[in-house]
Amino acid sequence: MLNLVWVDELDGSALDEVRALLLAAREVDGRPEVDAGGPLPDEFSGGLHLLAHAESDLVGYAHLDTTGDSFGRQVAELIVRPDRRHRGFATQLVEALVDKAGAVVSQDKLRVWSHGDHPAAARIAERAGFTRARELLVMHAPVAESDWPEPSLPQGVTLRTFVPGQDEQAVVDVNARAFDWHPEQGALTVEELRATEEEDWFDAAGFFLAERDGKVIGFHWTKVHPADPDRFDGEPVGEVYVVGVDPGAQGGGLGRALTLAGLRHLRERGLGHVILYVEGDNAPAIAVYSRLGFTRYAVDVQYAR
């Protein structure tokens, strides 16, 4: 039987326990992206934390984002330590999440991520009354096998790189219009963008802005992940982090041109692999990325009640 405790903050020994559990999960699942000495990933910040102990061992952990996504839905992450799986602990964690979500907002506004689309997670979700609501595809391209030509910009459009302290508001405005449909991305704020600029991985040279008549109409923000010994030959990996095009500028090939500019930048950095995340029902985007040499690598699933 589990001892389940909700806490508002993780500190001291609780933080150490959770970090150790996440590191153990990463060894088996390849997720989440957590460092032994660093802070927890952003998806575990704020909100509420559920600690599941069996005797003195932390065997499970869940995070509930009570702020919610752009549509007011609470989003949860749930992880059971690999050596303690298949014992019913995940089911108990899900039940506790459902109860807590009902107390905070509503049970039918709860969504839970399954990273990697594990069959066991699908069975647990079905028993708990959840259905498959969203797929987030991870696509991958080996740089050596990819032919990425010089980008062809629409007439009157110029390309430059992001200037910290100058371009934040313009990017946030385009982002809000381009992603008004997206559960997370559309809510980006100037403050959040500036905070990201302080991250070790941020590189303005890999953040491309498209302008027409001096106005930003699109952007491609790239990212480089540190080497992971268990993935992609143990090398650093580039990412097509965000490509956003103002709705008024869509349909003229700007998205493809911005994507190519970022891909060529990542190639020039000497990276051997590039990944990206795309919604599973975004057929036009998947088609564009497929033509650029990307193939499906993994899938994350969000379950909803």
What is the per-residue pLDDT across 252-266, written as a single tens digit (0 to 9) for each?
Answer: 899 999 999 999 999
**H helical segments located in the chain:** 12-29, 89-104, 119-127, 168-178, 190-196, 254-268, 283-291
Is 91 labelled as part of a ligand binding site? Answer: yes
More confident residue, 67 or 17: 17
Which residue in 233, 170, 239, 227 sits closest to 203, CA to CA? Answer: 239
Q: Angle 283-291/254-268 helices, nearest 10 degrees?
A: 40
pLDDT tens track for 44-71: 988 999 999 998 999 999 999 988 888 8
* Single-letter amino acid, residue 6: W
Is 162 labelled as part of a ligand binding site? Answer: no
Is 252 labelled as part of a ligand binding site? Answer: yes
By percentage, how much of the chain surpasses pLDDT 70?
99
d(CA 223, CA 271): 11
Assess whether pLDDT exceeds 90 at residue 107: no
Is 251 labelled as part of a ligand binding site? Answer: yes
Whole-angstrom CA distances from 23 to 20, 37, 41, 84, 266 are: 5, 11, 11, 14, 28
132: which strand partners?
303
Can you tell me whether residue 232 is helix, strand or coil?
helix
Is 196 labelled as part of a ligand binding site? Answer: no
Per DSSP bridges, beta strands 57-65 and 295-304 are unpaired
Look at the block and give the residue holding tokens 């992001």: 162
Look at the block and give the residue holding tokens 């993935």: 231
Is 244 labelled as part of a ligand binding site? Answer: yes
| Predicted pLDDT of residue 205 | 98
* Single-letter amino acid, residue 279: E
Assess whether pLDDT exceeds 70 at residue 214: yes
Is 89 labelled as part of a ligand binding site? Answer: yes
Spell out the domains of the chain, with CATH numbers in brackets: 3-129 (3.40.630.30), 139-299 (3.40.630.30)
Assess whether pLDDT exceeds 90 at residue 232: no
Whether omega for the bond prior to residue 39 falls within 30 degrees of 0, making it cis, is no
Is 302 labelled as part of a ligand binding site? Answer: no
Is 220 labelled as part of a ligand binding site? Answer: no
Is 270 labelled as part of a ligand binding site? Answer: no
Is 289 labelled as part of a ligand binding site? Answer: no
Is 79 labelled as part of a ligand binding site? Answer: yes
Look at the block and give the residue holding tokens 């049970």: 107
Is 293 labelled as part of a ligand binding site? Answer: no
Work out the pLDDT band at 106, boundaries 50, 70, 90.
Answer: low
Which residue in 202, 244, 245 sits closest to 223, CA to CA? Answer: 202
Number of alpha carbons in the 13 Å side-chain half-sphere of residue 99: 10
Work out the pLDDT band at 243, boundaries 50, 70, 90.
Answer: very high
Is 90 labelled as part of a ligand binding site? Answer: yes
Is 245 labelled as part of a ligand binding site? Answer: yes
Cβ count near 46 (within 10 Å): 14
Work out the pLDDT band at 112, boundaries 50, 70, 90.
Answer: very high
Is 297 labelled as part of a ligand binding site? Answer: no
Per DSSP bridges, beta strands 295-304 and 131-142 are antiparallel
Is 241 labelled as part of a ligand binding site? Answer: no
Is 217 labelled as part of a ligand binding site? Answer: no
Diameter over CA atoms, the chain: 67
Is 238 labelled as part of a ligand binding site? Answer: no
